[in-house]
Amino acid sequence: MLLSRRQRGDKRRALRIYFATDIHGSDVCFRKFLAAAKVYQADALILGGDFAGKALVPVLPQDGELTARVEGQTVTVPAEEWEQLAAGINRAGFYPVRMEAAEAAALQADPAALDRLFRSEITAQLQRWCDLAAERLDPGVRCIITPGNDDPLEADAVLAAHPRVECPEAGLCDLGPVTMASLGVVPYTPWDTERETSEEDLGKQIGQMLDQVPEGRNAILNIHCPPYASGLDDAPELDDTLKPVIRGGRPSIIPVGSHAVREAITRYQPTVGLHGHIHESRAAQKIGRTLCVNPGSDYGSGVLRGAVVDIAEDGTCLDFLLTTG
Amino acid sequence: MASSEAAAGRVDTASTQLFIRQTSGLVRELGIPAAVGISLASVAVVNTFINFNAGLTDFPKADMYLPLVAAAVIWLVAMFAYRYLLRAVPRAGGEYVYLSRVVSPAIGAMAGLGIAVVFTYVLSTNAHFAAQFTPFMLTGLGLAFHSTAIANAGNHFGSNLSIAWLSVILMLIVAALSLFKVKIVARIIFWLIVLQLVAFVSLIAILAFKSHADFVTAYGSFSHHPGAYQATITAAHANGVLFGTSIASAVAIIPFMVLNYNGVLYSYYVGGELRRPGRTYLYASTISILVLVVLWVGVWALLRARAGLTFMQAQANLGVINPTAYAKITSLSSVSGGLGYGLLLSGDPITKILFATAVPFAEIAVNLAFVTVTTRVLFAQAFDRLLPVGVAKVGDRNHAPNVAIGIVLVIGIAFCFLTSLVALGSIVALQSLFFALILLAGGVAALFLPLRRPDLIELPGASEDARKSFLRKAAWVGGATTVLALFTVYELVAHSSVYGKFSWESILTLVIVLGAGPVIYVIARSVRRQRDSLDLSLAMHELPPE
């Protein structure tokens, strides 16, 4: 138990959060995310970034059939089975796009056009997801989606414009008993992704947000990058070609989280830290009084990993559970 | 700014392209060579030379060719079962995750906690095993440095109490090394494995290039008795040691060989990192099994040719049946097996040092790896709230899981004393059975997969008939693995005098180990429900996507 019976006293739950992250374009995972509200009786759903998919699969029509590469193999199905094929492709979070062979060849030669297509697919999917949230969620359930470093900047506008979804990126959000600060920016990575900055700047951004939290009020940090060396940030060490380093017959695992996030948690001691970014480092750790959680991600299997967190009326953390659904 | 690139188009036709967007993180980057490395590193290779000796002690008339091949076949079938499980749950976590998701969380807890307890016990048996090799190590170092004092020092480490203390010292060394940062621990394991492999290759080379006559001479010279070779065989005859070979013994020793291969499929533990997991795992495991079969059959053939089967049977058993008679002939440790033969044949101090220290170094490497695996299993239980979250606490300075390491090592050290000083053998005799049950768990999970969770298997672009056929195959392979695992269990039970006697202590221990997980799960769940905390059953609750 997070708190002993004596510590809990007669504290009652005032807020239940369901947090998931890094679903990378998986429709199945997003649908499960919405279903989590009922299953876990959550008051607020928080999707903590990296919702954009990583790959795009051209589906080529020819003679009444559709051909595409799925899970490393070329698959051909009758044209009427488009929906099943698209679902199969999207099971790994990839975007199925119908196009002619000539268009696919042209995309290969034009990285800028490919980049535009990616952004278009990502924002279109995000729009569909927001609409689905409006359709399926009980009006009393809050739906908060914040971006991560892999999400294009265009996504912010989609989220900001949708009436059913909240996107308090780089700002504060009142959740009732607690205030939540959110930030999707991460320290520089070897992949040079959309939202990266220096550790120094990251620390400054987090500090600016948390300085605005009223004194005496508990806070939750929804920061995409986990704190350094917290057990939430264990990832394979990479060589210069971005391949995992093998030592003693096993991948070498090192901490890759943010020093700035750790320092902010140590200094401000929020109630809870909600993190993602490192899919394979599913863990929960306490840094001082702060419970830090990274539910990990298994989006490629259509499995939604998440965390249920109960918050008391005074903004303290009552309980948590890591889930696999 | 994210950029994009065309990836698969480099190798495929334009009709089957995949465009990848540059994003952070690794997605299934481990290929076949890395997966083979993981599998082979999980098997203690250097123990091969000793395990043959142990096998001959337990089953004097066993020839190892059939058991080595039969055990490989069992692992090959099991490999396919795990392949289907990996297909259904690609980011694997071993039997705990498979059973939790496919059968039930309580059964998963049984596997998870049972594995943690048994692995902790294995830490102590490894330390105990290495401690028993101290006299051999000192003999080898004495020969290398031409020091009688060092060689004779081994005589002081024969008592149970001294072996207990040596085991504890080894555990404390492992504890101290485990507290370094993960990266440093990985490097230590790497270099210890390198030393192990160098010793292994040197031993093969020495056995390959020396003759039977060389061995007879070297044994006689070491024992200060030119006729020591024949004297050992004669004394064994006189003490009733069985010679020759029999099919019944070869069949009976199959479970022993199955246990020797344990670890060869461990690349499924990193299933989430494998590139095209099903295919990579299949190829890597097949290659690893074949490498081990060829290597071990070759080593066995070499040992037979150089030392001779009759001598190996005599030496292994005389040292156990009549240690006094054995000690009158030679001071070579009777448990040293092929390592001892290599020590006799080696002509330079470097290889002598390598052979002398191979076992302690190998066991330290294995124990460091076991500490990592066991703490990970404890982590998984803590994150699922079956154990206190504090168990998974990571140290602020060394970034190591200090609490979990402390728990594992305190219990491990307690086991060390019990193993050496108390008749713990009868209590933990069913350790072999437990490992066979883990194999059985994998088979059962694959068998139940099509029955309980067919939804986990999706074949994009395949017809419903093809999917059903795939599920049928999974059931058949799961069933075959279950049958073979049951055969292994049957042989273990049928030869309980060797593998572990059934006594009330041993059965009670097994029941406690297996029952602890489900009991803790039920208790933790009911306590949490009473406190109005989150229901544990939600941890693995399937979310409906529609």
Query: pLDDT tens-digit profile of A26-56?
Result: 999 999 999 999 999 999 999 999 999 999 9
pLDDT band at B9; cut points 50, 70, 90: very low
Per residue in B428-444, pLDDT (tens digit) is 566 777 778 888 888 88
Flag the least confident range among B32-36, B48-52, B202-206, B444-448. Answer: B48-52
User: Over 50: is that where the pLDDT of B1 sits?
Assistant: no
- Average pLDDT on B103-110 reads 78
pLDDT band at B47 (very low <50, low <70, confident <90, very high): low
Amino acid type, B464: E
Judged by CB atoms closer than 8 Å, whether chains meet at A150 and B272 is answered as no
Percent of residues in chain A assigned helix, strand, coil, to nearest 5: 30, 30, 40
Q: Provide the β-strand partners of residue A143.
A: A45
Q: What percent of chain B has pLDDT over 90?
A: 13
Interface test with A, best of B27, B38, B91 (most A CBs within 10 A): B91
Class of residue A190 by CB neighbours under 10 A (exposed 0-12, middle 13-18, buried 19+): exposed
Which of A39, A186, A251 faces B543 most closely, judged by CB atoms?
Answer: A39
Which pLDDT does position B2 carry in this prediction?
37
Name the DSSP class of B46: G
Per-residue pLDDT at A1: 40
- Residue type at A92 in one-letter notation: A
Report the candidate in B154, B129, B136 with the shortest Cα–Cα distance to residue B334.
B136
> Is the confidence at residue B3, as pLDDT, over 50?
no
| B253, pLDDT greater than 80 | yes
Which residues on neighbouring strands pair with residue A187, listed in sequence order? A197
Going by pLDDT thresholds of 50, 70 and 90, the confidence category of residue B7 is very low
Q: From the CB of residue B135, how many other CB atoms can be counted at a distance below 10 Å?
A: 22
Query: Among A75, A152, A229, whose Cβ lies nearest the Cβ of B2?
Result: A152
Mean pLDDT of chain A: 91
Distance from the A313 Cα atom to the nearest Cα atom in chain B, whole angstroms: 15
| Per-residue tokens: A319 | 């309980």
Given a contact cutoff of 8 angstroms between Cβ atoms, the answer to whether B141 and B546 are in contact is no
**Per-window interface: A 208-247 vs B, CB < 8 A:** 229-231, 234-238, 242-244, 246-247
Average pLDDT of the segment spanning A143-169: 96
For residue A55, give the nearest of B20, B365, B399 by CB distance.
B20
Q: Nearest-CA distance from B263 to chain A in Å?
A: 12
CA distance linking residue A279 with residue B26, whole number of Å: 9
CA distance A175 to chain B (A): 20
Q: What is the spatial distance between Cα B320 and Cα B326, in angstroms, rounded to a whole number? A: 9
A111-120, B292-301, B468-477: range with highest mean pLDDT = A111-120
- Which residues in chain A touch residue B89, judged by CB atoms under 8 angstroms apart? 301, 303
Task: Tell which residue, B538, B526, B520, has the closest CA to residue B387.
Answer: B520
Place of tokens 């492709």: A89
What DSSP character marks residue A169? Answer: B
Instruction: Using CB atoms, pick whichever of B20, B101, B458 lies closest to residue A91.
Output: B458
Closest CA to B90 of A244, A303, A29: A303
B38–A250: do the CB atoms touch at under 8 Å?
yes
For residues B65 and B300, the answer to whether their CB atoms sit within 8 Å is: yes
Q: Is the pLDDT at B234 greater than 90, yes or no? A: yes
Output the pLDDT for position A249.
62
Number of cross-chain residue pairs from A and B with Cβ atoms under 8 Å apart: 257
Task: Confirm if A106 and B6 have CB atoms less than 8 A apart.
Answer: no
Q: Which of A102-116, B128-142, B409-423 has the lowest mean pLDDT?
A: B409-423
- Best residue in B10, B12, B17, B97 to probe A by mutation, most A CBs within 10 Å? B17
Report yes or no: A300 at the B interface, CB cutoff 8 Å.
yes
pLDDT at A81: 87
Which is it for the CA torsion B415, B420, B421, B422, positive or negative? Answer: positive
A298–B91 CB contact, under 8 Å: yes
Residues B166-189 as b/e (b if ≥16 CB within 10 A, e otherwise) read bbbebbeebbebbbbbbeebbebb
Both tokens of A198, joined, read 């220096």
Closest-CA residue of chain B to A302: B456
How far does chain B reach from its first CA to its final CA, in angstroms? Answer: 35
d(CA B452, CA B85): 13
Contact B15 A67 (CB under 8 A): yes
Chain B closest CA to A24's CA: distance in Å? 10
3-class DSSP assignment, residue A76 = strand
The reply to whether residue B26 touches residue A238, judged by beta carbons under 8 angstroms, is yes
Sort out which chain B residues have CB atoms less than 8 A from A238's CB and list them: 26
Q: What 3-state DSSP class applies to A77?
A: strand
| Residue B544: other Cβ atoms inside 10 A | 13
For tokens 């086991």, name the residue: B415
Option in A1, A115, A194 nearest B533 (CB): A1
Contact B420, B161 (CB under 8 A): yes
What is the C-alpha end-to-end distance of chain A, expressed in Å? 22
Pairing of strands A246-247, A250-251: antiparallel
Instruction: Judge whether residue A133 has pLDDT over 80.
Output: yes
- Which tops the pLDDT comparison, A164 or B136? A164
- Outline where DSSP puts E strands in A191-303: 196-197, 219-223, 234-236, 246-247, 250-251, 253-255, 272-274, 283-287, 290-294
Once rounded to an integer, what is the mean pLDDT over residues B253-278? 74
Considering only residues 57 to 116 of chain A, which have any Cβ-Cβ distance to chain B shorter than 8 Å? 57-58, 60, 62, 67-72, 74-77, 84-85, 87-89, 91, 94, 101, 104-105, 107-108, 111, 114-115
Question: Checking DSSP bridges between strand A65-70 and strand A73-78, what pairing results, if any?
Answer: antiparallel
How far is residue B253's CA from residue B289's CA, in Å, rounded to a whole number?
18
Q: Minimal Cα distance from A108: which residue of B?
A: B6
CB contact under 8 A, B458 and A302: yes
Least confident of B145-149, B277-281, B401-405, B449-453: B277-281
Give the residue from chain B lying closest to A312, CA to CA.
B533
Query: Distance between CA B196 and CA B360 in Å, rounded?
Result: 10
DSSP A211: T
The more confidently predicted of residues B430 and A156 is A156
Q: CA torsion sign, B72 to B74 to B76 to B78? A: negative
Q: B272 pLDDT band (50/70/90 cuts)?
A: low
Average pLDDT over residues A280-300: 91
Please give the DSSP secondary-structure letter assigned to residue B47: G
Give the tokens for residue A150: 């892999």
> Residue by residue, what is the 3-state secondary structure of A101-147?
HHHHHHHHHCHHHHHHHHHHHHHHHHHHHHHHHHHHCCCCCEEEECC
What pLDDT score was predicted for residue A24? 95
B411: number of Cβ within 10 Å: 17
The residues facing A244 across adjacent strands are A238
Q: DSSP 3-state assignment of A14?
A: strand
The whole-angstrom separation of Cα A41 and Cα B262 is 44
A26-51 exposure pattern, b = at least 16 Cβ within 10 A, e = fewer: bbbbbbbbbbbbebbebbbbbbbbbb
pLDDT given for residue B10 in this prediction: 33
Burial class for A64, CB neighbours closer than 10 Å (0-12, 13-18, 19+):
exposed
| Contact state of B91 with A94 under an 8 Å Cβ cutoff | no
Angle between helices B105-132 and B95-102 (to 10 degrees): 160
- Interchain CB distance below 8 Å, B273 and A280: yes
Q: Which long-range contacts (CB under 8 A, 24 or more apart) does B526-530 make?
A: B528/A1, B528/B385
Other Cβ atoms closer than 10 A to A263: 17
3-class SS shares of chain B: helix, strand, coil, % to 5: 75, 0, 25
Report d(CA A301, CA A289) in Å as an integer: 34
Q: Taking all residues of chain B, what is their mean pLDDT, rounded to a whole number?
A: 80
List CB contacts of B49: < 8 A, sequence separation 6 or more: B203, B299, B303, B337, B338, B339, B341, B342
CB contact under 8 A, B3 and A192: yes
Q: How far, in Å, CA of B121 to CA of B109, rounded? A: 18
What is the value of ipTM here, to two decimals? 0.85
3-state secondary structure of A189: coil
Answer yes or no: do A88 and B458 touch at CB < 8 A.
yes
Residue type, B399: H
Q: Given this model, what pLDDT does residue A36 score?
A: 96
Chain B residue with the nearest C-alpha to that of A187 = B24
Are residues B25 and A52, on separate chains, in Cβ contact within 8 Å? no
pLDDT digits (tens, 9 = 90+) for A195-243: 999 999 999 999 999 999 998 999 999 999 999 989 899 888 888 777 7
What pLDDT does residue B178 have?
85
